[in-house]
Amino acid sequence: MIEVHNIQKAFDGNQVLKGITCTFASGQCNLVLGGSGTGKSVLLQCIVGLMKPDIGSITFDGTTFTNNKVQIRQEIRRKIGMLFQGSALFDSMTVFENTEFPLKMLTPDMSREERRDRVEFCLKRVGLENAGNKMPSEISGGMKKRVGIARAIAPNCTYLFCDEPNSGLDPATSIKIDELIYEITHEYNITTVVITHDMNSVVEIGDHIIFMHKGLKLWDGTKDEILGAKVPELREFIFSSSLVRAAKKVDDATEGGLEALASEPLSEV
Amino acid sequence: MVKTFGEFILFLQSMLTRTERVKILWQRTLDEAILIGIDSIFIVMIVSAFIGAVTCVQIAYNLTNPLIPKSTIGYMVREMTILELAPTITSIVLAGKVGSSIAGGLGTMRITEQVDALEVMGINSASYLVLPKILAALLMFPLLVILAMGLSILGGYLAGTLSGAMSASEYVEGIRTDFIPYNIAFALIKSVIFAFLVSAISAYKGYFTKGGALEVGAASTGAVTNSIIAILLADYVLAAVLL
């Protein structure tokens, strides 16, 4: 479980995070939802330690991360896997080497054969068993995201952070990436935090959702509760989504509406 | 200026804390040595051979007094090459080639979040990415300078004898006259200092790149400009202190 308490962050006097307090439950897909410029990515960077919050604390399974000793922060970081918005694969390495990299760096006791087996397993898990020899420049955006996920889970991460995993992907690939994140979260009991502004993701994978607006947390709940939320900013956000507008039309015409739409197989959506 | 210098010192300090295992550091240093050293041999060979040749021809052109022996040309080529041209010009050439490559590479890694990816994994990115580059530069610059010295003197020999400015024996006599071994040590000390300046300044400029592709280009340009200025300043200080 990740506990975020009263995180505040300002840049040149501009208060980007205004005291965020929330909890990300273990073994669940936790979504941080919000429009552009609401501070989602800054919150994520504060949580993973790429940015230091001005005020507030972050705790990973009871161990304080913020302002703790470097060794303890390192220990926590080694349990973190992260999928970056642009995948952040190492250009000079093949897909296999990218996936193997954290194992090489973080688990010196692992033999070469054990590493190879683990990498092959992870690549197979994300459906890229035949792409190991390819360079990042030779694969598509969706494949890069898959490699990013494989690299994140290779060292058996406890926490998985995904920064807008759907950005730059077509809707069908986005859904597949969402499904992969969801499956991996539940399969390995990972605490997953996904930063998104995509309502498709909410419908697909949102076990627990936090809605942010102008640096504040305005709402949290589940995907079943979100359509009934009374927060005006959230309602405006939800109903500006084409998917939800389309679903509303379906809702008017058919029984089940959005729920029915979400439960249908991908090919029929 | 003071703030930048302070940040530069902190950057160097951060590079030396939480370093990676020796095996990984050594492997990374060898990889970087290939990029910095082996891949620069061709340009260093071309530049140094022609500089030696041009130096020889120009000295011969200016040395018209019949009372001065022709062997002086060889002597002057050797002294200029060892004391100044080989270490300084080679380092300036490397500042252009290696410095821009280091800054561009690190800058691209920064803006594509590859540096962040290392940090999230709990790896000290400065130590993992920058320290091997600096070590490799410290290792390879002196070797390239030694190569440049030899080729520059050879270039002078070929230019002088082929143009008929002097005989081969006169040139060889000149380069053996009043040889001071300390000058070689001085040139190598210079090359080590220049290696550090080029690699550290370029790494600093690249590592702290913010923005996009334009800023990566600006970081590369800044790395080369600042490295060359640092080389010239250090060249003067070292000459004043060590000679």
* pLDDT band at residue A267 under the 50/70/90 scheme: very low
Summarize the confidence of residues A155-162 as an average pLDDT: 92
Strand order in A80-83's β-sheet?
A80-83, A159-163, A191-196, A29-33, A208-213, A216-221
Chain B residue with Cα closest to A81: B121
pLDDT for A266 equals 45
A253, two tokens: 């015409």
The parts of chain B modelled with pLDDT lower than 50 are none
| DSSP 8-state class, residue A230 | -
- Cβ <8 Å between B121 and A48: no
- pLDDT higher than threshold 70 for residue A160: yes
> pLDDT averaged over chain A?
87
pLDDT for A240 equals 77
Contacts of B114 in chain A (CB under 8 A): 88-91
Cα(B32)–Cα(B46) distance, rounded to whole angstroms? Answer: 22
pLDDT for A269 equals 35
pLDDT tens sequence across A34-59: 988 899 999 999 999 999 999 999 99
B184, two tokens: 């070689």
Chain A residue with Cα closest to B113: A88
3-state DSSP call for residue A210?
Answer: strand
pLDDT tens sequence across A140-151: 988 999 999 999
Q: Amino acid letter at B8?
A: F
pLDDT tens sequence across B166-190: 999 999 999 999 999 999 999 999 9
Chain B contacts to A (CB-CB under 8 A): 18, 20-21, 24, 108-109, 112-114, 116-117, 119-123
| Half-sphere exposure at residue A252, Cβ-oriented, CA atoms within 13 angstroms | 5
Number of helical H runs and strand E runs in chain A: 11, 10
Phi, psi of B23 (to 5 degrees): -60, -45
| DSSP 8-state class, residue B128 | I
What percent of chain A is modeled with pLDDT above 90?
A: 51
Contacts of B121 in chain A (CB under 8 A): 77-78, 80, 102, 105-106
Cα(A80)–Cα(A157) distance, rounded to whole angstroms? Answer: 5
pLDDT for B65 equals 87
pLDDT tens sequence across A176-225: 888 889 999 998 899 999 999 888 888 788 899 999 999 999 999 988 88
Contacts of B106 in chain A (CB under 8 A): none
Query: CA A132, A134, A135, A138: dihedral to nearest 10 degrees?
Result: -140
DSSP string of B17-63? SSPPPHHHHHHHHHHHHHHHTGGGHHHHHHHHHHHHHHHHHHHHHH-
Cβ-proximal residues to B188 (8 Å cutoff; 6+ apart), any chain? B87, B142, B145, B146
pLDDT tens sequence across B148-170: 999 999 999 999 999 988 999 99
Q: For residue B233, give how far its alpha carbon lies from the nearest alpha carbon of chain A (Å).
A: 35
Chain A contacts to B (CB-CB under 8 A): 48-50, 70, 74-75, 77-78, 80, 82, 84-86, 88-91, 102, 104-106, 108, 161
- pLDDT higher than threshold 90 for residue A235: no
pLDDT tens sequence across A62-104: 899 988 888 888 889 889 999 998 889 999 999 999 999 999 9
Q: Amino acid letter at A43?
A: L
